[in-house]
Structure 1
Amino acid sequence: MKREMGCHLEIEVVDGCELELQVAVSGAYDSDQLREDLRCTLDGRPVEVREVRDPGGGRIHVLDPTPGRLVVDYAATVQGRARPSRGSEWERSLYLRPSRYAEADTFFGFAATEFAAVLEEHGDAPAQLLPRVAAWVGARLDYVPGTSKPTDGASDTLLAGAGVCRDYSHLTVALLRALGVPARFAAVYAPGCDPMDFHAVAEALVGDRWYVADATCLAPRSSLVRIATGRDAADAAFCDNHGGQIELLVSQVHAIVDGPLPGDDLDELVAIT
């Protein structure tokens, strides 16, 4: 499968700061599978960018812009599929813990009650819980842009009954962790997503492999391309700044496949590749 993706960002840098971008395709692809171009300019002049790799394969691009208009253009073509992501014992431990936006410790009793029938029939089998939790979240929430705040966690989302992909993913991750299934947050490019934007999904560890759940059902899972992975959105934000004020003025994202979009059987286990 050939996939093309990228973004155009325009950011007003009010104060000099250290700025981190997570817009590049993860390092899961071999060099012959990925062609890409990242360009950053400040008031029309090139800006020096340095790359930092995280343990999960994500690529953080760090800049130190002075005040001005920062323009970021990223374009990539991915040919073929990456190797499926395998889980380690360290990841199993890390992704069972509560985190800032996926506060699993507040959901233990609730999750056990809501999924009692599944637990009684299948025990805590991750392969059975993953699709059922995603379906439950998809049925419980309404996708309504603008209804959630950047500081909302899974509990806020459940109470509000609405949110966007970030909120769907946090609630899915929190419920899975509360049920004893290691779960994590992934930022992705999502061909077919409507409205088109940076997309967020959840992943659960089944055996030693990570499989994806997208409670929004906005894009086929087999078309997704990983950008970043972490405990929740705090680890995978497409833009973060330290030490100064910025304002995001323009954010445009594109992601397409060569040919028709694949189908998606929600009962099947699918990995981000």
Structure 2
Amino acid sequence: MEVNSIAILGCGWLGFPLAIKLLDKNYLIKGSTTSVEKLPVLKEHCIAPYLVRLDPEKFTDDLTDFLNVDLLIINVPPGRNKDVPDDYGLKMKQLADKVTKSTVKKLIFISSTSVYPEINRIVDEEQLDLAKSAPALRMLAAEEIFNGLENIETTVIRMAGLIGPNRHPGRFFAAKENIPDGLNPVNLIHLDDCIGMICHVIENGLWKQTYNGVAPTHPSKTDFYDLASLKLYGKNALFLNEKGDFKVVDAKKIIKTGYHFKHPDLMEWLSQTPQS
């Protein structure tokens, strides 16, 4: 089935520029926001605007029309507030029920590489022993929900740590000292490649798959974040020369499909970012 219309659930840091890129490729794009104030912004950029709040008690009326598309991209991570009871699973189950009653035939679910445990080696999409933390279990449960939908071809993209505009990596350790695990490798992906991978999946019909969204280079925290801190603040981030539990998330599966990373070398990208 050819994809002509796409709904992006969550037009934030990733979803909004993704919508702009897909518009440039002549897809009809619907975008959702939970903020009334953002609706005119979407409309101004020719994104059909929808107010969609995933309230388990009552879904907004806009959702039915929003889902009248060929492809749905779900970009809604679980909340991080530990003091609030987690209703992410319920939201995803109820959303899935709505999706099964819609015209959606293809689905991309944006997950996270947090589902992989830190087992001191390379991990890939075939990894069976997955993380047991609450955030990881939420994401895995959501993946399972959408992978299990009948008559809908779902592809899961597990994104690593996100960097790019308004997410400069220098802010993570902000000229701090005695930071542990300085020898641990980093697992990151630039916004350009988040968008590039999603477009690649759509344009090449890579459905019913799981892919890692992560740059193929993994510099140490010391090398990467010290330079990032220097770039952003003009001060070093000082790490301890030690290695704790880690993982190296493998990007080979998506590369084998012909995807070429726009920022494969994280140190090169960082070195070329403007000085603060």
Which TM-score applies when normalising by structure 2? 0.29
Higher relative contact order (CA 8 A, sep 6+): 1
More strand by share: 1
Q: Which has the higher helix share?
A: 2
